[in-house]
Amino acid sequence: MLKIEIWNIVFTIINLLVLFVAFRLVLFKPVQRIIAKRQEEADEEYEEAKQAKAEAMDLKAQYEESLENAKDESKKTIQEARKTADQEYQRIVGSAEEAAKQLKEDAEKQAESRKEQILKKAEKEIADMVVDAAGKMAGSKSGAEFDRALYDEFLNKAGDEA
Amino acid sequence: MSVGEYLLKELECETVFTIPIFGGIEVSEATVVTWIIMAVLILFAFIMTRGLKVHNISKRQAAVELAVTKLTGLCENMLGEEGKRYAPYLTTVLIYIGVANLIGIFGMKAPTKDIRVTIALALMSIVLVQVVGIVHKGVGKWALKTISPINLLDLVTRPLSLCMRLFGNVLGAFVIMELLKKVCPIILPGVLSMYFDLFDGLLQAYVFVFLTSIYIKEAIE
């Protein structure tokens, strides 16, 4: 129990040192190496994931931008198309109105001239009739008889004409 | 055989064999038991660390990883950031003293019951502390600090207290258990054995390592 001598103390010290070295070789080193390796891998994966995320964010921003651009573009195109269509519409309606007005004016003019023609013709015919009737009256009858005859003649002719 | 004789016989560290050089070197029981402990521990560690993998680890690997990380972490915590590199040695000491204190359960005589073993452990601790002091501060500063009377006294009292605390606790626990077995052989020894054989054994291993780490920390600062 209390026997103190140097040899067994030395043995114990050697034993402890051997145990320490052996533990380092077969226990601490291998386990620490494997844990460090795993940590390294985890770090790498984390770094990769971070990078991938950054790239994805970049792409997303790009897509969003191009989408925005496309929206603007389509809006502009639609606006232009609408403007062009409007102009075309205005032009077509304008020219149609113009044509209709022209047509109406022409028709009115024609109708006017035709009316005048008819009137002139009627006047001329009436005058002829009058002259004709007067000539006939003057050649065959006289006095009141002539007046009556003239009147009847005129009425007959006018009735025929009408 | 009286109780006293029995106890004395149990506490006696027998010489297992003698190496016939230098007038006969007596190899004590404690040394032989230590060899057995070493053989078992190293073999166990060797088997446990076969085929370590990074992924898809086996339960065996998970267990050994957990044990090593926890034990080394315990020592690293006590040593602080700068003293981390001495954690493997302290872990070795922790495992060794822990197993040595518990080996009584398997019917062997605990090596820590032999004062020569605790002297050796305390000597190594104090030498390590001085080496750490020299490595971290340089010889000049270390010598200046160590030369004061109080610190010179520390050089003696620290290993002495380390050695005697461990030895005394193991011895005390053993004597109490033996007496208990004589006085009341049923139930009571089983219950108290939990404390004296298991808990106290591990606690003393922890205390020894804890104090050593405090000394190392002090030597670094």
Quick check: A111 contacting B, CB < 8 Å?
no
Q: Which pLDDT score, from 0 to 100, does residue B171 have?
A: 87
Q: Which of A127-141, B5-19, B27-41, B160-174 bottoms out in mean pLDDT, i.e. has the lowest?
A: B5-19
pLDDT tens, position by position, B98-123: 999 888 888 788 888 888 889 999 99
Q: B218 with B130: CB under 8 angstroms?
A: no
B49 and A27 within 8 Å at the Cβ level: the answer is yes
pLDDT above 90: residue A95:
yes
Chain A residues in contact with B52 by the CB 8 A cut-off are 30-31, 33-34
**Rounded mean pLDDT of A81-94?**
94
Distance of alpha carbon A66 from alpha carbon B68, whole angstroms: 56
pLDDT above 80: residue A4:
no
**Rounded mean pLDDT of A29-34?**
88
pLDDT above 70: residue A161:
no
Distance of alpha carbon B99 from alpha carbon B216, whole angstroms: 23
B108 phi, psi to nearest 5 deg: -100, 160
Q: Chain B window 6-45: which residues touch A at a Cβ cutoff of 8 Å? A: 11-13, 25-28, 30-31, 34-35, 38, 41-42, 45
pLDDT above 70: residue A74:
yes
Task: Tell me which residue in B13, B45, B96 faces A27 most closely, judged by beta carbons.
Answer: B45
Integer CA distances (angstroms), B137 to A45, A82, B52, B78, B131, in order: 41, 87, 39, 20, 10
Q: Which pLDDT band holds residue A57 (cuts at 50, 70, 90)? A: very high
- Of chain B, the percentage scoring pLDDT greater than 70 comes to 97
Q: B200 with B173: CB under 8 angstroms?
A: yes
Buried b vs exposed e over B61-78: b needs ≥16 C-beta within 10 Å?
Answer: beebbebbeebbebbbeb
Q: Which of B4-8, B17-21, B148-152 bottoms out in mean pLDDT, i.e. has the lowest?
A: B17-21
- Of chain A, the percentage scoring pLDDT greater than 90 comes to 57
Nearest-CA distance from B54 to chain A in Å?
Answer: 6
Distance of alpha carbon B55 from alpha carbon B9, whole angstroms: 54
A37 and B11 within 8 Å at the Cβ level: the answer is no
Q: Where are the domains of chain B?
A: 3-220
Chain A residues in contact with B119 by the CB 8 A cut-off are 4, 9
Task: Tell me which residue in B12, B49, B53 faces A1 most closely, judged by beta carbons.
Answer: B12
pLDDT above 60: residue A141:
no
Chain A residues in contact with B64 by the CB 8 A cut-off are 27, 31
Chain A residues in contact with B30 by the CB 8 A cut-off are 8, 12
Q: Which pLDDT band holds residue A65 (cuts at 50, 70, 90)? A: very high
B121 and A23 within 8 Å at the Cβ level: the answer is no
**Rounded mean pLDDT of A51-67?**
95
Half-sphere exposure of residue A152, counting CA atoms within 13 Å on the CB side?
9
Q: Which pLDDT band holds residue A41 (cuts at 50, 70, 90)? A: very high
Helix, coil or strand: residue B185 = coil
Chain A residues in contact with B11 by the CB 8 A cut-off are 1
Task: Tell me which residue in A7, A13, A30 faces B124 most closely, judged by beta carbons.
Answer: A13
A30 and B49 within 8 Å at the Cβ level: the answer is yes
Q: Is the dihedral angle over the CA atoms B141, B143, B149, B154 positive or is it negative?
A: positive
Q: Chain A window 36-95: which residues touch B at a Cβ cutoff of 8 Å? A: 37-38, 41
Q: At how many degrees (to 10) do helices B87-102 and A6-23 cross? A: 120
Chain B residues in contact with A23 by the CB 8 A cut-off are 41-42, 45, 88, 91-92, 95
**Rounded mean pLDDT of B18-47?**
83
